[in-house]
Structure 1
Amino acid sequence: MSKAPVIILGSGASAAYGIPGMPQLKDHLLGVACPKTSKPDDEAKWTEFQTKLKTTDLETALDEVRLPELLTALVVESTWDYLAPYDRKVFEQAIVDHDLFPLTKLFLHLFNSTRNDIHVVTPNYDRIAEYAADAGKLAHYTGFHYGHIRARAVNGRPRIHLGGAPARTVNIWKVHGSFDWFRDNDGVVVGLPIATRRPTNVFPVIVTPGIEKYRLTHDEPFHSIKSEADKALQGADSYLCVGYGFNDTHLQTTLVERCRGKDVPLVLLTKGVSATAKAFLASGKCGKYLAIEEAPSGARVYSREFPTGEEIAGESIWQLGEFLKLVIS
């Protein structure tokens, strides 16, 4: 923690707050009907997609069945409509429970120093990191100006000052978009943080799984956000991954290269270490790592010294809150 890690939040970090993951989203999309105004070819393609989706995961289905623009938009809008209300529930919890987020404790600990900025990189659409910063009375920055209707910060980043000094700021690089980003009919992207439903005449700016991810992330604001995320990852002295499965090559390439080339230490906290993460850690490409997952007796810890894992009974230190109790006062 003394190295001020860049924090990588995966879907497991959101699941802790009841936000559904890809399996639940898959089930939801299987129940979405093709618009009645669709052409016969679109209806056939949607049926093909849902048939494929029944037997595989969402990313594979979207890779193998190339949907036309109308149906790609349907996937994006249906994803937003299904998941965004869960994010809103977390916000409502945060209003009354200021101790809801272990992330808040982590942020404040990292700012117990001379640093003014810390970095969070995440593929998640939700705003848990933003809420956690707010709960700690910290500024947060996502690449947009401040306010209720937020323009992109394209000519230099805005900066809040307190007493003449720059405010401590959590930079949150959301490489796949956010529930409060929308594109208008002119193609202009704005942030609308107080929207409680999907506004009319604007389109959600989130990247769903599948091959479209690699095309869309070359457009703005994704290109700029990914660039900032890469800078943060390249400059990191350590990494703290929470609920991250190492299944997104689009995001983690820089992280993997840095671990391999500079021996940067990495800590992974997750309910279950994914097969992909285990393969990466076991490959020897990460010289200093600690991976902790849930175990029947408490937690299982993996490291270079314990590559097959060692159980620690009675400790739930795979959860961020419990881990922080162990490593910070």
Structure 2
Amino acid sequence: MAYGVPGMPQLAQHLRASKPEDLDTPASEIWGRFLAAAEEYDLEAALTRESMPDSLTNHIVKETWKFLIKSDLAHFQKNISNRDINPLTNLFRYLLRTVKKEIDVVTTNYDRLAEYAAESGGIHHFTGFGYGHLRTWHGSESTHLLIGRRPVATANVWKVHGSLDWFQTADRTVIGLPVTGVLPAGLLPSIVTPGVEKYRITHGEPYRTILDRADRAMSNAQSYLCIGFGFNDQHIQPKLVQKCERDEVPLVVITKKLSEQARSFLRRGSCRQYMALEESAGGTCMYTQGHPDGIEISGHNLWSLQGFLQLAI
């Protein structure tokens, strides 16, 4: 959101204003109930209350794609002239200065800010798809580029809910089309929107394999950095929470505002090595196992990625 990509409230407003076409009576009634629920609850809660027919699910997917692609491509254009616009680039560079040539990024976002950040730093990114203008699904194993005989540093970006450059063909094959601002004819964006359908859709490929790789990354990690994650997605957090509680893996959370789910997890006391940073009126509020109620760090912006990196690296 710091780079102009709309969040869930803006998407909810856009969907409420959209008009599905050629709906039969049952679908029209379901859409009406969704609109009423979206006024009362947040978007995910509203979508979870109704089992949508394919006509409405496809409408939501297409409208979500059309709404988000503009801001994604606008950030891409800015990135061309300013390679350091996203502090994630500096984080990737820092992490890959070691002998380790591979890092894992797990995200629920559809946008490609992580991929842009990697390439801005001269770092290869891998999302499971191959290379070129018509990208095919390669599977879960990272494909390293080589310069001479040396592997190029790689950021594996595991996008558990899909990406703006993934599309489903008529035979339900998912392909990658790197940079397009127009929805290709006959293709459906391959993104998993909130609601009851996301648990069904993610049983198929490429999501099934990506979720497995995300789980492996979580299980093998020796530390976690969570940027703006609310701990409210069952596709990501179980392995993370389990390892923090069982193996005392260090956890750092930076966010504008901690979600209630994140607060609840940290307050349980099972995670014994954590630091959570959120915005406060005076600067930053920091929560640790020694200060579960938080302490004020006045005059310092440590809750944003840019501010945090100025301290950490």
**TM-score, with structure 2 as normaliser:** 0.98
Deviations 1:112-142 (A, max 9, x none): 1101100100000000000000100110000
Task: Tell me the CA shift for residue 274 of structure 1.
Answer: 1.0
- Aligned residue runs from structure 1 range 238-253, under 5 A: 238-253=223-238
Which residue, 41, 66, 81 being the options, matches 1:56? 41
Q: Determine the C-alpha separation between the residues in 2 that align with 1:243 and 1:155.
A: 25
Q: More relative contact order in 1 or in 2 (CA 8 Å, sep 6+)?
A: 1
Aligned residues: 313
Q: Determine the C-alpha separation between the residues in 1 that align with 2:82 and 2:302.
A: 22
Does residue 1:30 correspond to 2:16, yes or no?
A: yes
* 2:110 corresponding residue in structure 1: 125
Q: What is the CA RMSD across the aligned residues, in angstroms?
A: 1.1
* 1:322 corresponding residue in structure 2: 307
Q: Determine the C-alpha separation between the residues in 1 that align with 2:294 and 2:285.
A: 6
Which residue, 11, 16, 34 being the options, matches 2:2? 16
Task: Tell me the CA shift for residue 319 of structure 1.
Answer: 1.0
Amino acid aligned to 2:68: L
Q: Determine the C-alpha separation between the residues in 2 that align with 1:201 and 1:226.
A: 27
Q: Determine the C-alpha separation between the residues in 2 that align with 1:59 and 1:272.
A: 19
Deviations 1:215-271 (A, max 9, x none): 111110000001011110100000000011111122111100111111000000000
Task: Tell me the CA shift for residue 148 of structure 1.
Answer: 1.2
Q: Determine the C-alpha separation between the residues in 2 that align with 1:211 and 1:285.
A: 30
Task: Tell me the CA shift for residue 66 of structure 1.
Answer: 1.4
Does residue 1:289 correspond to 2:264, yes or no?
A: no
Q: Determine the C-alpha separation between the residues in 2 that align with 1:136 and 1:197.
A: 28
Deviations 1:190-217 (A, max 9, x none): 0101212211111100001111111111
CA contact (8 A) 1:177 1:207 kept: yes
* 1:78 corresponding residue in structure 2: 63
What secondary structure does 2:284 align onto? strand
CA contact (8 A) 1:145 1:157 kept: no
* 1:265–1:148 CA distance, 2 compared to 1 (3 A): same
* 1:43 corresponding residue in structure 2: 28
Does residue 1:189 correspond to 2:193, yes or no?
A: no
Amino acid aligned to 2:292: P
Q: Determine the C-alpha separation between the residues in 2 that align with 1:163 and 1:183.
A: 36
* 1:211 corresponding residue in structure 2: 196
- Aligned residue runs from structure 1 range 120-159, under 5 A: 120-154=105-139, 157-159=142-144
Deviations 1:149-183 (A, max 9, x none): 11000395432101211111000000000000001
Task: Tell me the CA shift for residue 320 of structure 1.
Answer: 0.8
Q: Determine the C-alpha separation between the residues in 2 that align with 1:92 and 1:287.
A: 42
CA contact (8 A) 2:219 2:243 kept: yes
Q: Determine the C-alpha separation between the residues in 1 that align with 2:160 and 2:238.
A: 13
Q: Determine the C-alpha separation between the residues in 2 that align with 1:304 and 1:157.
A: 36
* 1:67 corresponding residue in structure 2: 52
CA contact (8 A) 1:271 1:318 kept: yes
Deviations 1:90-126 (A, max 9, x none): 1011011111011111111111110110010000000
* 1:311 corresponding residue in structure 2: 296
Percent of aligned positions that are identical: 44
Q: Determine the C-alpha separation between the residues in 1 that align with 2:66 and 2:45.
A: 22
Amino acid aligned to 1:109: Y
CA contact (8 A) 2:158 2:210 kept: yes
Q: Determine the C-alpha separation between the residues in 2 that align with 1:122 and 1:276.
A: 17
Which residue, 193, 196, 212 being the options, matches 1:227? 212
